[in-house]
Amino acid sequence: MNLDTKSKEAILNGKIEAAEKLANKAIEDNIDVNIAIDAFSLAIRKAGDLFEEGEFFLPELMRSAEAMKAAMTIFKPVLMKGKEDRSLGKVVIGTIEGDIHDIGKTLVASLLSAEGFEVYDLGADVPISTFIDKAVEVDAQIICMSALLTTTMVGQKKLIDTLKERNIREKFKVLLGGAPVSKGWVEEIGADGTADNAISAVKLAKKLMML
């Protein structure tokens, strides 16, 4: 089975049933679940690129997102095996205020949860104060903030600055996500890291919890 090609077709065409069948087939064929998820991740990132380029419109993007979520629903129980009774840590995640893109953020949240993190997904268009208040409320170890627009990236810096102003910067590891985010930006504003994709983001979160 050419999973890369078929998953791309299912996701880009928003075929929920096809995505579910492919996910089930991958499990039946004993394909490593992380490799399978990566194939679907490439497809959903392509959908995001097409949206940014104006070739996809919001309804098409949302259908692709629903197909992706359907596949993740199949994969999640496999990822969760043996991890039900332990928590690697608490993560507050969301997309910054002014930005409604949440496909990548939702994927990262799903994988973090599947890997054993206790995840608090705040959704999209989230004010900085909400990120911080929730992180303090649940005693989180990690704050993940996504920004898909260069105009909303400044919110990531504001989050760091606000944590410093409240003298609680050291309480949290802050991970940044989104297409315009670079390692240079992470270093410039004093965040703790970024990742190229959802699977790498989970690996980074796990690494930070060990520090």
pLDDT tens for 138-186 read 999 999 999 988 889 999 999 999 999 999 999 999 999 988 999 999 9
| Domain 3-80 sits in CATH 3.40.50.920 | no
Architecture of domain 89-210: 3-Layer(aba) Sandwich (3.40)
pLDDT, mean over the chain: 89
Decide: helix, strand or coil at residue 197: coil
How far apart are the C-alpha atoms of 62 and 12, rounded to whole Å? 10
CA distance to 67, 127, 156, 163, 169, per residue, from 166 (Å)? 41, 16, 16, 5, 8
* 162 DSSP assignment: H
Q: Where in the chain is the domain with CATH 3.40.50.280?
A: 89-210
DSSP string, 136-180: HHHT-SEEEEE--STTTTHHHHHHHHHHHHTT-GGG-EEEEESTT
* Length in residues, the chain: 211
How far apart are the C-alpha atoms of 50 and 60, rounded to whole Å? 10
Q: Where in the chain is the domain with CATH 1.10.1240.10?
A: 3-80
**In this predicted structure, what is the pLDDT of residue 115?**
75
Position 83 pLDDT exceeds 70: no
DSSP string, 8-34: HHHHHTT-HHHHHHHHHHHHHTT--HH
**In this predicted structure, what is the pLDDT of residue 88?**
85
In single-letter form, the type of residue at position 103 comes to: I
β-sheet bridge partners, residue 126: 96
Q: Look up the pTM and report it.
A: 0.71
Residue 84: pLDDT band with limits 50, 70, 90: low
